[in-house]
Amino acid sequence: MKDTPTKRLATLAALVLAVGLTAACGPDIAANTPSGPTSEPPQTNPDRLQAPSEASPTGEIVIWDRSGDLYEVFDAVIESFNAKYPGITVHHEAVDIAAKLQNTLITGTDVPDGVFLDDAYVAGYKDHLWDLSDVLAPYLDKITKQKIDVNTVADGIYGVPYDLDPGLLFYNAAALDKAGIDPAAINTYDDLLAAAKKYQDYRPSAKPIHLEQGAWLGQLQLEMYANQLATSMADANGELRLNSPEYLKILTWLDEVAKQGLGTRAEYLTPSDIGALEAGDEVFYPWAIWFDFAPQQQLPITSGQWRAMQLPAWETGGARGGAMGGSSFILPKQGKNSQLAWLFYEFLMFDETGYTAVYGPNKVYPGGLNTSIPAYQPAADPAKPLFKPVEALGNQDLWTTAIEAGKQIPGGTPTPTWWDGAVEYLGNNVQKMLDGAMTPQEVLDQSAKDIQANLVDRQ
Amino acid sequence: MTAIAAPKAASPAGPARRWRRSARRWGWPYLFVAPFVAVFVAFSVYPMVFTFRLSFTKWHGAGLAEWVGWENYGYLLSSPAFWESLRNSAALWLLIVPAQMALALAIALLLNNAALRLRNLYRVAIIVPFVTPLVAVAQIWIVLFDQDYGAVNSVLKVFGIPDIGWLVTSQWAKPTLALLFIWKTTGFIMIILLSGLQSIDPAYYEAAAIDGAGRLRQVTGITLPLLRRTLMFAIVMQTLAVFQMFTEPYVVTKGGPYNSTTTAGLYLYNHINRADLGTGSANSFLLVVIVMGLSLLFVRLLSPKD
């Protein structure tokens, strides 16, 4: 076939046409006009979800949960939900939420009605989600403030608070007993440092305090310490406030632990970590309540020797509670039956039958779900434990310990949309500091500068 | 191709009939390629154009995208993290590709030897890592190379070598990742080279042997020149793979320590993952340009001179 100018022109025209047509299928583009906050009065805001008015609504909902134990737990609750709402069919799916949610929301294809999500990600999906302020209104004064705060962006609440994950100080009671250390005497982080030194004197190979080596979890733990001091990386308006005396205090303490050789540098429950825990070289683990999974499943040698207590305070009389992680349920606006999904989560979280089924003894957790506590305060009654004492913690009444720690958690702020991205800067710089390559002040200066330039300013 | 002119001269039929005949003659090929074109446009052209358009916007997946012109490209080109991700990928390329080509070629030469017994068994054994799911292999790597309890350090300790932080020090994380990549994909490269070796006419070797050429001389004088095109293909393939490497660092090191294993592919993913889709799109186009440039360079350098 001869390549004539006409054919060339036709080919070029076809190409331009194809490109033009395909380009037209992208998102609508506004010319440098960032959208501002809505000026509508809250009562007429169409982004706010309303509860269904029917007494016995009918329909089908698709609920996404991450696979694993929690999926099994929530799956088992559907039966009692259907006893209350027989007309609602729940399609419960185990999904890799981190991998699928963003694409699903962007494309609007097969969007689920409700999704289980880490609190750290809720704000990032805000534009896709129902504002739950109205449906949550009857419960707001009974939900732990920190959980409302982390789900709040501007004037909206974008997640149904699920669990509260108070930080606790896990310790190997048997090992401390042999070293003559009384854990009850550990009231401040200085006390913890002194106890660690004493333990190391008793057992020279020990590096008693866990120093997280993973950048992401290290940053999450740092936020737990910061939450104790009622601060966080960003304030309620999303302004960066990292470079502060509170963060300096925390980093200085962590730096001290590292410099004095009192910390086991390991990633959470990797072989190095487990080995040190089982050997009795690592005996203090300041972490979220969900660390109790380790003595129950991962530490066969020292299982039964571990106990949990409230976190030490940063100064005498200071708060001994701080939240580390946590999850909520989000309801995408593109879901087909969001109102019915709300009923499902309302049942799970705020109905006694529902939350008892979630946290109480079940097939997956015969003693009850003890890796978190409810964020809904009527469910978190110290006098009415939902889960039993934990055998791997020497039959300790973890319920009461965790509830008391939860009460001490100061309020929080919305997790900024860029929190995850900050790991690249703050998370890594903390690791550099623990390796002796940066000072605490350098970490704060450099991280604040980088986060501001690369994340906050580019929002 | 004189087909167009022939009917004009031979047929006295009217213009409509001529047009129908011509349409039939020209229409069939287009009809046959139409399914491919449709799939290609839907799954390649459209995403590419969509992404290119997105690269000039600030968009987080919902609402209106804001047109920002070249800002995303400017940000990336002035970002130390972007260049560090490229440096990391380039370092991994240097650690992986030359060593892998030499290793795969050596194995292919060995397995091409008809006198070797159990050849098929070896071929299968060498390709097994390639077909094993990467995530499973990566988990094994984490256990094997654990600093305190890994099998590798345990073996080294026998020889008096102190524990090495394979995955937790920026000095060792890249070589460990490179080793994983080499172990995983060398079998595939070996298969490609082996097919190249088997296409070489044995008569060349017989003639060379008659002329007194030894085994090494035959490899350098016959095998390598005739394998040049296959080698070029393998190198381009692996260059693409290394610069797009994502799963290995994502699972094994999460890009750490200190971003030392944040490859170009992982850095791009980080933008997408935090819904910075405009910057992610710009990053992917910059990566396309860089990888295309490198590939063309290798094609030019390794093209047979005949």
The residue of chain B nearest to residue A427, with distances taken between CA atoms, is: B258
Is A5 a member of any domain?
A: no
User: What's the whole-model pTM score?
Assistant: 0.82
Is A70 a member of any domain?
A: yes
Chain A: closest CA distance from residue B274 (Å): 7
Q: How far apart are the first and last CA of chain B?
A: 29
Contact B49 A23 (CB under 8 A): yes
pLDDT at A38: 41
Stretch A352-361: mean pLDDT, rounded? 94
A181 — pLDDT class (breaks 50, 70, 90)? very high
Q: How many domains does chain A have?
A: 2
B144-178 confidence digits (pLDDT tens): 998 888 899 999 999 999 889 999 888 999 999 99
Distance CA A129, CA A390 (A): 37
Q: Is residue A262 within 8 Å of A193, Cβ to Cβ? A: yes
pLDDT at A312: 98
Best mutation target among A334, A428, A434, A442 (most B Cβ atoms within 10 Å) is A428
Is A225 a member of any domain?
A: yes
Based on the domain organization, do A191 and A225 belong to the same domain? yes
B25-60 confidence digits (pLDDT tens): 778 888 889 999 999 999 999 999 999 999 999 988
Based on the domain organization, do A173 and A309 belong to the same domain? yes
Contact B67 A30 (CB under 8 A): yes
Sort out which chain A residues have CB atoms less than 8 A from B146's CB and list them. Answer: 270-272
Q: How far apart are the first and last CA of chain A?
A: 53
Stretch A244-257: mean pLDDT, rounded? 98
A400-441 confidence digits (pLDDT tens): 999 999 999 987 787 888 888 899 999 999 999 999 999 999
pLDDT at B1: 38
Distance CA B67, CA B59 (A): 9
Based on the domain organization, do A295 and A216 belong to the same domain? yes
Pairs of CB atoms within 8 A across A/B: 119
B180-195 confidence digits (pLDDT tens): 999 999 999 999 999 9
Is A183 a member of any domain?
A: yes
Based on the domain organization, do A320 and A183 belong to the same domain? yes
Sort out which chain B residues have CB atoms less than 8 A from A432's CB and list them. Answer: 258
Biggest CA-to-CA distance, chain B: 94
Is A272 a member of any domain?
A: yes
Whether B207 shows a pLDDT value over 80: the answer reads yes
Strand B57-58, strand A114-118: pairing: unpaired
Based on the domain organization, do A175 and A237 belong to the same domain? yes
The residue of chain A nearest to residue B82, with distances taken between CA atoms, is: A454
Percent of chain A with pLDDT over 70: 90
B73-302 CATH fold: MetI-like fold (1.10.3720)
Stretch A241-265: mean pLDDT, rounded? 97
Whether A40 shows a pLDDT value over 50: the answer reads no
Based on the domain organization, do A311 and A362 belong to the same domain? no
Q: Taking the domains of chain B in order of start, what are their residue ranges?
A: 5-54, 73-302
Contact A33 B59 (CB under 8 A): no
Whole domain around residue A287: which residue ranges? 167-324+411-456
Domain containing A81 — which CATH number? 3.40.190.10
Stretch B279-296: mean pLDDT, rounded? 93
DSSP SS3 for B57? strand
Chain B: closest CA distance from residue A23 (Å): 6
Sort out which chain B residues have CB atoms less than 8 A from A128's CB and list them. Answer: 61-62
The residue of chain A nearest to residue B273, with distances taken between CA atoms, is: A102
Chain A: closest CA distance from residue B284 (Å): 17
Contact B146 A18 (CB under 8 A): no
Nearest to B53 among A23, A267, A271 (CB): A23
Nearest to A216 among B46, B254, B274 (CB): B254
Q: Which of residues A360, A380, A400 is at a domain's end?
A: A380
Contact B75 A458 (CB under 8 A): yes
pLDDT at A42: 46
Task: Pull the structure tokens for residue A60.
Answer: 């089908």
Based on the domain organization, do A317 and A333 belong to the same domain? no
pLDDT at B119: 82
Is A282 a member of any domain?
A: yes
Please, which residues have CB within 8 angstroms of residue A77's CB and are 6 or more apart in sequence? A347, A348, A354, A357, A358
A270-280 confidence digits (pLDDT tens): 989 999 999 99
Best mutation target among B26, B46, B48, B266 (most A Cβ atoms within 10 Å) is B46
Please, which residues have CB within 8 angstroms of residue A90's CB and are 6 or more apart in sequence? A60, A61, A63, A78, A81, A82, A344
Nearest to A271 among B53, B149, B262 (CB): B149
pLDDT at A30: 64
pLDDT at B2: 39
B226-264 confidence digits (pLDDT tens): 999 999 999 999 999 999 999 999 999 988 888 899 999
A373-389 confidence digits (pLDDT tens): 999 999 999 999 999 99
B85-117 confidence digits (pLDDT tens): 999 999 999 999 999 999 999 999 999 887 888
Is A4 a member of any domain?
A: no
Sort out which chain B residues have CB atoms less than 8 A from A216's CB and list them. Answer: 254
Based on the domain organization, do A82 and A223 belong to the same domain? no
Nearest to A127 among B46, B62, B274 (CB): B62
Is A32 a member of any domain?
A: no
3-state SS of chain A?
CCCCHHHHHHHHHHHHHHHHHHHCCCCCEECCCCCCCCCCCHHHCCCECCCCCCCCCCEEEEEEECCCHHHHHHHHHHHHHHHHCCCEEEEEEECCHHHHHHHHHHHCCCCCCEEEEEHHHHHHHHHHECECHHHHHHHHHHECHHHHHHCEECCEECCEECEECEEEEEEEHHHHHHCCCCHHHCCEHHHHHHHHHHHHHHCCCCCCEEEECCHHHHHHHHHHHHHHCCCCCECCCCCECCCCHHHHHHHHHHHHHHHCCCEEEECCCCHHHHHHHHHCCCCEEEEEHHHHHHHHHHCCCCCCCEEEEECCECCCCCCCCCECCCEEEECECCCCCHHHHHHHHHHHHHCHHHHHHHHCCCCCCCCCCCCCEECECCCCCCCCCCCCCEHHHCCECHHHHHHHHHHCCCCCCCCCCCHHHHHHHHHHHHHHHHCCCCCHHHHHHHHHHHHHHHHHCCC
A106-118 confidence digits (pLDDT tens): 888 899 999 999 9
- Taking all residues of chain A, what is their mean pLDDT, rounded to a whole number? 90
